[in-house]
A and B are shown apart, each in its own frame.
Chain A
């Protein structure tokens, strides 16, 4: 009788040990990954617009011309970024070059603004936006006093100023 009980116990022990050897606790490995996003403000313009004043209505100043062939794009991950523009040299007397940028969603275009050597705001309130293909319209105005002006060029510098 005792031998039979001992035999069953031993058999149970053998089965138990096999079962334990066949299972395992969860095997994990952990890795800590560090990440960050810096302030990003990028603006780009494409196109080489050309403006030539060629005519006038008799009795009025020469007729202004516009060019809307350029476009611009912006990416900012900040709140309240703005675009300003300037030219390195003043325009000849009697000539005014203006720029008008279409605003990305949620931002505000300040409309057509005359460009000078001091930066002028064109778009404000750009918030966490990545958008491209927005219109740029340049306008050239002349008074009769400007006379005939030889072909010239101006590089327009656009600056994006990050918000917060």
Chain B
């Protein structure tokens, strides 16, 4: 086999590797839409109980995992801690095809799995992101604040 033949083979392998995924998607991807959610504003309580938590839609997310990239799940984390006495919970629905939602997950600055067993090379439907926000009386009164929620493909 000549060097020219091997070089051609290398080029062929590159092209093959770049187009082996199903459909038109060439790389793994994770998107969430819209880029902002909320506001989640706690306004009331039942007397004697902690303030009543609130829920809000976070829109939808779409995931595509290319084969052999080492991804099979989505993790979520915060870029910074929440104020004391507050809890932000995220729920990513399962897009089906065997993917498993972890259900409601309390967010911290440490990544935690929210969806697992995501099949590779499979075009999956966009499905819902939901948030709930809770606060104890110890949190006090909080003016509008923001939290950056980072979703990431993970092994």
Contacts and interface: CB of A to CB of B under 8 A. Distances in A.
Given A3-B3, A33-B131, A34-B144, A75 B42 contact: no
A57 interface: no
A130 B150 CA distance: 33
Contacts of B43: 38, 40
Nearest to B59: A31
B153 A26 contact: yes
B84 to A, nearest CB: 11
A63 to B, nearest CB: 34
A22 B1 CA distance: 26
Contacts of A38: 41-43, 141
A132 B48 CA distance: 4
Given A10-B3, A17-B13, A37-B86, A27 B29 contact: yes
Interface in A33-79: 33-40, 42-44, 72-79
A148 interface: no
Interface residues of B, number: 69
A155 interface: no
A14 B13 CA distance: 7
Nearest to B51: A40
B36 A31 contact: yes
Interface string A1-18: 001001101110110011
Given A23-B69, A27-B153, A42 B129 contact: no
Contacts, number: 201
B24 interface: no
Interface string B25-45: 001111110111111111111
A29 B75 CA distance: 10
B41 A44 contact: no
A29 B50 contact: no
Interface string B89-131: 0000000000000000000000000000000000000000101
A130 B49 CA distance: 5
B140 A77 contact: yes
A142 B142 CA distance: 49
B141 A3 contact: no
Given A17-B13, A33-B88, A42-B45, A130 B137 contact: yes
B81 interface: no
A114 interface: no
A35 B39 contact: yes
A79 B48 CA distance: 16
A31 B152 contact: no
B32 to A, nearest CB: 4
Interface of A: 3, 6-7, 9-11, 13-14, 17-18, 21-24, 26-40, 42-44, 72-79, 128-133
Interface of B: 1-3, 6-7, 9-11, 13-14, 17-18, 27-32, 34-51, 58-59, 61, 66, 68-71, 79, 86, 88, 129, 131, 133, 135-153
